[in-house]
Amino acid sequence: MYFNVTGQDVTGTNADASRTKYGRVYRLNLDATDPLKGTLEVILDGDNRSGIAGKFQNPDNICVTKNYVYVQEDANGYGDETHDAYIYQYNIATKDLKVVVELDHRRTQADAAKYNVATKDLDPNKKGVWEYGALIDVSDQLGIPDTFMLSIQPHSWTGEKYKAADGGTKRPVESQASQIVVIKGLAR
């Protein structure tokens, strides 16, 4: 079993740096004969800035296939972000890690103002303003090998037309857009 631990800035309850700042990915190996026993290991450590996960900006979501662990970032806005949110591919067999997806905020495009709306709490020029939601392998359901569905939360893409667009009542004044995209050719 694999899981992410999203980082926490070194302030407040983490002022003593007892928790991860940039996030980690763990593997839990359970004992098949005794479910009360097992081992827990860090396989990717974002706090080791010289290690293979040294560019991590808070892994948040995770998708595990037969051969790969896909780690999706959600930068927490510490101010030292060097890139927009990545999806990393960790090869379970070789232990290699590489970036396979990066969010494009369209900051330099003609339509940049549409996707990068500043608010009192949000500077769309900062790195890591958008984040990933779920990444799901839909290859078997669609009958198309190496096909995934990905949700994206572009926090700076806002507008009145997005308020309560789904009829929800929990956050009726939320005005952020969202996307669901299909990715083809991503290895399982």
Q: Which residues pair with 12 in a beta bridge?
A: none
Looking at the chain, the whole-number percentage of residues with pLDDT higher than 70 is 100
Kindly report the pTM of this predicted structure: 0.92
Cα 66 from Cα 91, distance rounded (Å): 10
Cα 159 from Cα 123, distance rounded (Å): 16
CB-based contacts of 167, cutoff 8 Å, min separation 6: none
- 126 pLDDT band, cuts 50/70/90, is confident
Cα 161 from Cα 57, distance rounded (Å): 31
> Which range has the worst mean pLDDT, 87-96, 139-148, 156-165, 178-187?
156-165
Report pLDDT digits (tens) over 158-186: 899 998 888 888 888 888 889 999 999 99
